């Protein structure tokens, strides 16, 4: 049961339904990053870590895949709860219930008993207004256990391009740009997948615009590496960017087609620590 105070007036789930578009393997890049970066935290939990797939959509593929990937690559004790605001989608997902995987009706209140180790909210906030994002982030981060992680972002329909923000209970930590390198013409191709907190800030004078501009310049300068493959060109791009931008996660993640930068380096102008409070 969920305390009534965590729901909207009348006990209704908080939020609105998404379009529900989903495809198998759409979130594989995000899942791989979660398992690699957050896996050690999951393994240190005393109890089986609970992960929430928030707004999984019209079909439950992403929740099914998250359970498989977390158990294989992070913690074999992991449990996943798929949360959907559309009750018909919850009903449709029930045949996929299995050990470690359940589905419930709910929204941003996250109707799961106790704090959770992980909330993944992919392609959920794009339909909201930018000024609504901090309140949603704050509500979701408040549901995290100590050391827990919220991963919120956007990807294309077949999972070639992602951008996501990773947040702890204190607020946003990093932004990750992830792509299938063979499909990339330039790093700024990822701009169309910026999460709601950043997509309207990709304009001159904003830090995220400067980051993508510098990434494009570094990519162009690394053109001689293209003969060795897109991965080597991407690695050279990351090395050049690291001279001026606080990249994190290291070479192993870069080789996977990722660039992760600290949130404060690309945060919207006017954003201040404590903006979630």
Q: Does residue 204 lie within any of the structural domains? A: no
CATH number of the domain where residue 68 is located:
3.40.50.150
What is the pTM for the complete model shown? 0.93
Q: Structural domain of residue 109, as residue ranges?
A: 19-179+246-263
Is 152:164 a contact under the CB 8 Å cutoff? yes
Chain mean pLDDT for the chain: 93
**pLDDT 10s digits, 15-37:** 887 776 788 899 999 999 999 99
Q: CA-CA distances (angstroms) from residue 64 to 24, 31, 93, 158, 206?
A: 9, 12, 10, 17, 38
Please give the Cα distance from 183 to 164 (Å, whole number).
Answer: 19
What pLDDT is attached to residue 20? 66
- Pick from 242, 249, 221, 251: which is nearest to 233 by CA? 221
Does the pLDDT of residue 111 top 50, yes or no? Answer: yes
Q: Does residue 169 lie within any of the structural domains? A: yes
Q: Does residue 215 lie within any of the structural domains? A: no
Does the pLDDT of residue 91 top 90, yes or no? Answer: yes
What pLDDT is attached to residue 274? 63
Q: Does residue 185 lie within any of the structural domains? A: no
Please give the Cα distance from 244 to 123 (Å, whole number).
Answer: 30
Q: Does residue 62 lie within any of the structural domains? A: yes
The CA radius of gyration of the chain, in Å to the nearest whole number, is 18
Q: Does residue 271 lie within any of the structural domains? A: no
Domain count, the chain: 1
Residues whose CB is less than 8 angstroms from the CB of residue 99 and which lie 6 or more positions away in sequence, other chains included: none
Q: Does residue 128 lie within any of the structural domains? A: yes
Q: Does residue 114 lie within any of the structural domains? A: yes
Sheet containing strand 50-54, strands side by side: 101-105, 79-84, 50-54, 116-122, 144-155, 161-168, 171-179, 258-262, 247-248
């Amino acid at each position: 049961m969920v305390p009534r105070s965590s729901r909207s007036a009348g006990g209704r789930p908080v939020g609105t339904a998404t379009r529900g578009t989903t495809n198998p393997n759409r979130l594989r890049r995000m899942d791989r990053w979660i398992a690699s970066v957050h896996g050690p935290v999951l393994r240190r939990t005393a109890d089986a870590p609970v992960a929430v797939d928030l707004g999984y959509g019209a079909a439950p593929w992403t929740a099914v895949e998250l359970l498989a990937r977390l158990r294989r690559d992070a913690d074999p004790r992991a449990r996943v709860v798929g949360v959907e605001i559309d009750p018909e989608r919850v009903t449709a997902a029930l045949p996929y219930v299995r050990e470690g995987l359940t589905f419930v009706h709910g929204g941003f209140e996250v109707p799961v008993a106790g704090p959770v180790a992980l909330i993944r909210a992919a392609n959920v906030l794009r339909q909201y207004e930018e000024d609504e994002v901090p309140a949603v982030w704050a509500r979701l981060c408040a549901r995290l256990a100590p050391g827990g992680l919220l991963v919120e972002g956007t990807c294309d329909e077949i999972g070639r391009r992602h951008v996501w923000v990773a947040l702890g209970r204190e607020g946003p930590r990093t932004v990750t740009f992830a792509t299938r390198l063979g499909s990339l013409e330039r790093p700024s191709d990822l701009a169309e997948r910026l999460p709601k907190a950043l997509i309207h800030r990709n304009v001159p004078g904003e830090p995220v615009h400067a980051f993508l501009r510098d990434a494009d310049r570094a990519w162009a300068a690394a053109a001689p590496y293209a003969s060795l493959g897109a991965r080597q060109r991407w690695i050279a791009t990351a090395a050049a960017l690291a001279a001026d931008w606080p990249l994190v996660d290291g070479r192993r993640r870069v080789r996977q087609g990722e660039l992760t930068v600290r949130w404060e380096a690309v945060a919207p102008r006017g954003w201040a620590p404590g903006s979630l409070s």
